[in-house]
Structure 1
Amino acid sequence: MSATDGMRADWAGKDFYAVLGVSKDATADEIKKAYRKLARANHPDSNPGDTAKHDTFKAVAEAYDVVGDAEKRGKYDQMRDLYRSGGFGQRGGGGYADAGATGFDLNDFLRDRGGTGGGGGGFGDMFGDLFGNRGGRSRPQTRPRKGADVETTATIGFTDAIEGVTVSLRLTSDAPCPDCNGTGGKPGTRPHVCPECEGAGFVVSSVGGAFSMNETCPVCGGRQLVYDEACPTCHGTGRGVSARTIQARIPAGVKSGQRIRVKGKGAVGEHGGPPGDLFVVVKVGAHRIFGRKDDNLTVDVPVSFAEAALGAEITVPTLSGSAVTLKIPAGTPNGRTFRVRGKGAPRKDGTKGDLLATVQVQVPAKLDPAAREAVEAYRAATAGIPLRANLFES
């Protein structure tokens, strides 16, 4: 039997149910309750200097890591059954056979369940995930990693924001080092399993109480492998810089400050992983005439005193270029807003907001003699109307 399988046979010889004080038929809730109780009682933070309780805490955590997970628990139970039946007896060629005379072949059992049998797989491949690949493959398979997300800013015109536009963006983002292809090692050198995480890519750290969490390994950065000599270009980081130009579509109706996601246009992934995403923060320039309020466009429309007092039909521009006729009723006050349906910004559902036209009554700075005479006559005709009487009422 190899050292690797001997280690797992040792694991199979441990009764994790007994460590947690529960039966083999215990429910998931009963196992969790027992674990929490034991972890709280034996946690190193609560028992400084008590080596025995520290060891108990480790054993409890080890047991719960296996039987507290439904999939791992099922495989552990199978492994325990094989152990009790003598299924770890070694035979020639690196395979395994039952220690008894039943003719049971463990390799056949594993092969039927997706294992590789003797040689380089079998038992280790089937149960390796129970133990975080400890002592398993000497060269762990490096996991694909998604590329980082990238964020940039695009400034567009007011009309482009309403109608939509395609913009060219020059991006500089993180990418695998071109010399070492992201491994972090000097080209031509061979890697070995990270001694810190033992090839897992992560380490377990306590966050207080009875809980712990996985963190990216600080030595290998999650790559699982390390090199004795670092790449001279990236100094072991495995990362470089990529500059490129892409075309991004800004949808119609976008608002200033809105964040647009462009899927798959971020940094390149590692080891066959997918690229990250690009996020474009849109800044919209101002318009000479129009403004915006939510999905509505706004415009101030100057009118004369006569048009406001007597009523009129006036022409109002729209952003699309085609003007609309707006009827101003007699006696319209300054600042009144009129709504023109469907002339605003597009919405996600395909409809459009409205155009809000606010009238601004204009007072002439200078009057010619005829206009002054007319205004004087108007003042005389309305002299008896107390416009400011309400200001002095208590």
Structure 2
Amino acid sequence: MSAQVDFYELLGVERTADGATIKSAYRKLAMQCHPDKNPGCKESEAKFKAISHAYDCLKDDQKRAAYDRYGHAAFENGGPGGQGGFGGGAGFSDLGDIFETIFGGSGFGGGRGRQQQRRGADLRYDLEVSLEEAFTGKTQEISIEVSASCGECDGSGATPGTGTRACTTCGGHGQVRAQQGFFVVERTCPACHGAGKVIESPCRACRGEGRVDKPKTLSVNIPAGVDEGTRIRLTGEGEAGARGAPPGDLYIFVHLKRHRVFERDGTTLFCRAPVSFTTAALGGEIEVPGLDREVVKIKIPAGIQSGKQLRQRGAGMPALNSRGARGDMVVQIDVETPTRLSAKQKELLEQFRATETGDECPASSGFFSKLKEMWDDLG
């Protein structure tokens, strides 16, 4: 590819394009013709070098102004901005952006500076609570074993009175460069792990890590309305970072114990309530104790059938982070047939049966009427 091709034409942008447009065009082309995306393709390699050189010029205001005025001559024979060619390149930081986009790695990184301290790991704690505790909320203490900042060296990892020195492997930069073909890749220094410095005399208590395992007791606030899987975050209560790096977080995952009476779906409470067949026939009222120890009175309409659900508004679970809002309680009625009757009760039931006309139970009479019609049709 000729070195005299217009830089704007190479990148496919207008001469009036702003910096963001030029950068966007360059990144798109660079990803298309990057040598690692086109192994063994000399044309792609040449185009990649050309667009990198073009972008190196146009991204810099002074170089761009010189190019707009003098053209390619601005970078020949020691002219203004004379750092042409791929050696002046698109800059390691720009190539690093492209490398990350293509490969998802850190790749290039010149100019990015020393690797940031890595924060401590986040921790998980599974906490089981009863449905009553989820209803009212509570404060509970938990005990965990966690890496905490070393008290002996105050988290530095160095023996008190001693310090650190620059890493000789990376020269204190935290990264080392390796030549790969025509470009340079930077990687985290294997000696100092990106810190850029090494400890002269490691602390004996933590062996240079700056943290030690310690038991910790924490007070956790469980808000009213928590549900299965609710996550509570305690910032900074996770593992301490190595050598003074910030700590991670602790996540409390709430799990609900199985309840003897109620089942829960969001803010709705479900339960089953058996009622006598006389109450089902004549109607009445039953009392269901709520989780707040208040009695919930459920009115039973006369003639209710087994499986019917009755809803009591506002008698369910509180909504999480709400101000008094509550769901409903749903009671499923199970009509119970008596299994032990006294002689008097049997006599009364016999008298009732003698007066039955079939209209008392329309579902039953309808069913047997359909059976009779079926038999007549078959006969």
Q: TM-score, normalised by structure 2?
A: 0.65
Distance 2:251 2:35 in 1: 44
Partner of 2:146: 173
Letter of the 1:149 counterpart: D
> Are 2:12 and 1:32 aligned?
no
SS across alignment from 2:298: strand
Gaps of at least 5 residues in structure 2 are 1-5, 66-77, 82-108, 359-363, 375-379
Distance 1:243 1:63 in 2: 59
Distance 2:56 2:29 in 1: 15
Match of 1:330 among 302, 312, 327: 302
Partner of 1:309: 281
Letter of the 2:164 counterpart: R
Partner of 2:195: 223
Cα distance, 1:191 vs structure 2: 3.1
> Are 2:365 and 1:386 aligned?
yes
The answer to whether the 8 A contact 2:7-2:51 is kept is: no
> Are 2:265 and 1:293 aligned?
yes
Partner of 2:111: 131
> Are 2:134 and 1:150 aligned?
no
Partner of 2:96: none
SS across alignment from 2:351: helix
**Shift in alpha-carbon separation, 1:284–1:58, aligned structure 2, 3 A:** farther
The answer to whether the 8 A contact 1:339-1:354 is kept is: yes
The answer to whether the 8 A contact 1:185-1:191 is kept is: no
SS across alignment from 1:191: strand
Partner of 2:132: 159
Cα distance, 1:256 vs structure 2: 1.9
Matches within 5 A, 1:198-209: 199-200=173-174
Q: Which stretch shows the higher mean deviation, 347-356 or 190-199?
A: 190-199
Gaps of at least 5 residues in structure 1 are 1-16, 87-128, 134-139, 207-211
Deviations 1:305-353 (A, max 9, x none): 1110011133232221221332211101112221222111111332111
Distance 2:342 2:356 in 1: 21
The answer to whether the 8 A contact 1:20-1:31 is kept is: no
How many residue pairs get aligned? The number is 316
The answer to whether the 8 A contact 1:303-1:360 is kept is: yes
Cα distance, 1:252 vs structure 2: 0.2
Cα distance, 1:21 vs structure 2: 5.8
SS across alignment from 2:255: strand
CA-atom RMSD in angstroms: 4.7
**Shift in alpha-carbon separation, 1:369–1:219, aligned structure 2, 3 A:** farther
Distance 2:277 2:25 in 1: 81
Q: TM-score, normalised by structure 1?
A: 0.63
Cα distance, 1:194 vs structure 2: 6.7
Cα distance, 1:193 vs structure 2: 3.2
Partner of 1:195: 169
